[in-house]
């Protein structure tokens, strides 16, 4: 495997972790309850740790995080979607952490450049997945209001899920096989939560998903501006 190819994959996975970490961090001070705020912050910090390792494989972590333009980011469009209400955040977590858990479990058993990171990350991500599933079950099978919000979030984010299973250069996994297991797992959780699995397309002309090529949705630019503002205003600032 050439270095350049590993860099492409490291950027893709690193940007996923970095961007989702920032989104989850936005809940600080706003989460519905204190306990949940700490839980989301913990997940965000796990992801930030993974992002640092991955971006360091691709270059200078600070430069990559703080000085790249929007079009240079390679994260999935799913992870950059705004937090919305708590249901949106839970469903985004369910869709992404299920994928990330399956992916890292596979990477950890291989001997590629990501195996050491994946071996550590797979335990962290297993907890993220459990957290999302627990909330999906409770909110989906909760009150009429929580069920309706969850269903709305499931539908809204569904079209972003196909992108996770496009092959990434340098990532030695069978994306199709991953997708089959993912669908099975998510369908199972949604059904147990009395939610309807969305019927819309997950890939094709009318779905989202060019994040890996650097095309991002509108809210991403604003998120990036906030994330990079301090570093750009005060280059080299440190604690």
Site string for another protein, 72-111 (x = CB under 8 A): ----------------------------------------
Q: How far is the CB of 194 from another protein (least distance, A)?
A: 17
In sequence order, what are the residues at sequence separation of 6 or more whose Cβ sits closer than 8 angstroms to the Cβ of residue 62?
231
| Contact of 12 with 168, CB cutoff 8 Å | yes
Question: Token digits for 32?
Answer: 């519905």
| Selected binder of another protein within 62, 85, 130, 174 (CB under 8 A) | 130
The whole-angstrom distance between residue 157's C-alpha and the CA centroid of its chain comes to 12
In angstroms, the CA 91 to CA 59 distance is 32
Q: How far is the CB of 162 from another protein (least distance, A)?
A: 30
| Selected binder of another protein within 71, 123, 138, 229 (CB under 8 A) | 138
| Selected binder of another protein within 4, 33, 205, 237 (CB under 8 A) | 33
- Span near another protein by CB under 8 A; candidates 35-43, 101-109, 110-118, 196-204: 35-43
Of residues 49 and 198, the one with the C-beta less far from another protein: 49
Question: What does the buried/exposed string (b/e) look like for 124-145 if buried means 16 or more CB atoms within 10 Å of the residue's CB?
Answer: bbeebbebbbebbbebbeeeee
Of residues 71 and 192, the one with the C-beta less far from another protein: 192
Q: How far is the CB of 95 from another protein (least distance, A)?
A: 20
| Selected binder of another protein within 11, 18, 39, 65 (CB under 8 A) | 39
Neighbour count for residue 222 (Cβ, 10 Å): 10
Q: How far is the CB of 124 from another protein (least distance, A)?
A: 12
| Selected binder of another protein within 1, 3, 28, 32 (CB under 8 A) | 32
Q: Which of 103, 75, 78 is nearest to 182 (CA)?
A: 103
According to the binding rule CB under 8 A, does residue 42 interact with another protein? yes
| Selected binder of another protein within 3, 38, 67, 210 (CB under 8 A) | 38
Of residues 39 and 227, the one with the C-beta less far from another protein: 39
- Span near another protein by CB under 8 A; candidates 54-62, 74-82, 130-138, 206-214: 130-138
| Interface ranges with another protein (CB under 8 A) | 31-39, 42, 130-131, 134, 138
């Amino acid at each position: 495997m050439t270095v350049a190819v590993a860099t492409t994959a490291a950027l893709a996975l690193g940007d996923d972790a970095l961007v989702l970490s920032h989104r989850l961090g936005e809940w600080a001070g706003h989460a519905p309850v204190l306990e949940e705020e700490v839980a989301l912050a913990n997940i965000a910090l796990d992801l930030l740790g993974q992002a640092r390792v991955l971006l360091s494989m691709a270059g200078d972590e600070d430069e990559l995080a703080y000085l790249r333009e929007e079009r240079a980011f390679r994260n999935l469009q799913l992870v950059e979607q705004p937090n919305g209400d708590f249901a949106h955040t839970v469903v985004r977590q369910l869709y992404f952490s299920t994928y990330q858990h399956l992916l890292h479990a596979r990477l950890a058993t291989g001997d590629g450049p990501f195996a050491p990171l994946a071996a550590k990350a797979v335990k962290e991500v297993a907890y993220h997945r459990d957290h999302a599933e627990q909330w999906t079950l409770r909110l989906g099978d909760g009150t009429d209001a929580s069920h309706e919000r969850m269903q709305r979030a499931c539908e809204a984010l569904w079209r972003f899920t196909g992108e996770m299973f496009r092959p990434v250069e340098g990532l030695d996994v069978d994306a199709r096989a991953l997708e089959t297991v993912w669908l099975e797992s998510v369908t199972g959780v949604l059904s147990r939560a009395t939610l309807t699995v969305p019927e819309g397309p997950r890939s094709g002309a009318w779905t989202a998903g060019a994040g890996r090529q650097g095309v991002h949705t509108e809210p991403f630019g604003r998120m990036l501006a906030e994330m990079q503002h301090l570093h750009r205003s005060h280059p080299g600032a440190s604690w």
